Structure 1
Amino acid sequence: MTKENGQLGVCQRFGAGHMPPEENEKVGIALGSLGKLPLNALRINPENGASGWYIYGGESSDGPDFYQPLHIAHLVDRCPKIVPYLALPPGWRVLLAPEYEDVWFDSVLIDKLSDGD
């Protein structure tokens, strides 16, 4: 199964649209937190070369240095567990832990975008 087919399958399984990012787009990733559980990811609207994905382990932080930019192409090595979920469109969240998966649409992510927050 190719990465693209796996991502399409995830989108179909959750009844979501299919919006894969380009490999040269970036994610915001908290590299220092990736050893913590659960693994969290959320997607807002892509813009300016950013895919809209933010990925972190454990609890999130508003700290200015919490997230670092990373190209999508490097996620296969740095955070392979999230790769199958990357084609979920803006508004989707993912939470992964050992033997646990939660994937849901969060309208708050879209509402914030609409309100300009």
Structure 2
Amino acid sequence: MIKNLLYPLKKRLYDEYVELIRYLINCVIDDKPSIKPDQTIAYHSWLVKCYELSELYYEILEVQSNGEGLGEGADYAIKVVQEQKQECQKYESTPKFPIFNQMIVISNIVYEGLAVDAVRYLSPEHMSGWWLTTDLYDDNVESLMTVHYHHVAFIRPELIKYFALPYGYRFNITGKEQDVWFDENAIK
């Protein structure tokens, strides 16, 4: 039994925890691994951990939104996944969740919070496919950096909801304005 389900939860959050538990069970059934103590598990684009309290009870922990260790529950992981699904639903697309340790290509100053222009290209497994640039990008490919998805997620959490958009999608975020569209040329 999962400890977090024993606490009173709002109906919406309860349903989201049930979905998370189904996801974990399906991972075990599909991939046939055993979940070992202190093992982190990818919940779509975030990480959770099932911590064994006893033979019958587990506690769910999640990577904290700032990247500073694990916290009790999975509220933030659920929020990330739900926002990504909702963003995909707006554009009638099926989510293609990035994996926590996949790589993203960024230009200088992305971490500083400037407006971002992003595109998702077809990419090898270790890459998410996302390329993020700012207006200060000078078209010098040599100046681009490859960083882990989670670094961008910790530093620019306002961008996370877009990262499950499938290959070929673009977004441009400038302050409170956002523009999202599918670019067929990005998948050719």
TM-score scaled by structure 1? 0.83
> Deviation digits for residues 47-78 of structure 1, max 9, x if unmatched?
14111000111154431333111111111222
Q: Which has the larger radius of gyration?
A: 2
From 142, 145, 151, the counterpart of 1:74 = 151
Residues matched between the structures, number: 111
Residue matched to 1:100: 177
TM-score scaled by structure 2? 0.54
Q: CA deviation at 1:36?
A: 7.2
Determine if contact 2:114/2:134 at 8 Å carries over to the other structure. yes
Structure 1 residues 33, 76: CA separation in 2 closer, same or farther (over 3 Å shift)? closer
- Measured in 2, the distance between the counterparts of 1:36 and 1:70 equals 16
- Measured in 2, the distance between the counterparts of 1:38 and 1:75 equals 14
Determine if contact 1:36/1:58 at 8 Å carries over to the other structure. no
Query: Which has the higher relative contact order, 1 or 2, with Cα contacts under 8 A spaced 6 or more apart?
Result: 1
- Measured in 2, the distance between the counterparts of 1:59 and 1:90 equals 24
Residue matched to 1:115: none
Structure 1 residues 43, 49: CA separation in 2 closer, same or farther (over 3 Å shift)? same
Runs of 4+ in 1 over 4 A off after TM superposition: 33-37
> Deviation digits for residues 78-107 of structure 1, max 9, x if unmatched?
222211100001000000112211000001
Determine if contact 2:111/2:152 at 8 Å carries over to the other structure. no
- Measured in 2, the distance between the counterparts of 1:88 and 1:28 equals 16
Structure 1 residues 15, 61: CA separation in 2 closer, same or farther (over 3 Å shift)? farther
Q: CA deviation at 1:44?
A: 0.4
Q: CA deviation at 1:18?
A: 0.7
Q: Percent identity?
A: 25
Q: Give 1:54's aligned amino acid.
A: W
Measured on the aligned residues, the alpha-carbon RMSD in Å equals: 1.9
> Deviation digits for residues 11-56 of structure 1, max 9, x if unmatched?
0012222101100100001133554753111000121411100011
Question: In structure 2, the residue corresponding to 1:31 is in which secondary structure?
Answer: coil
Structure 1 residues 86, 72: CA separation in 2 closer, same or farther (over 3 Å shift)? same
From 132, 152, 161, the counterpart of 1:55 = 132
Residue matched to 2:34: none
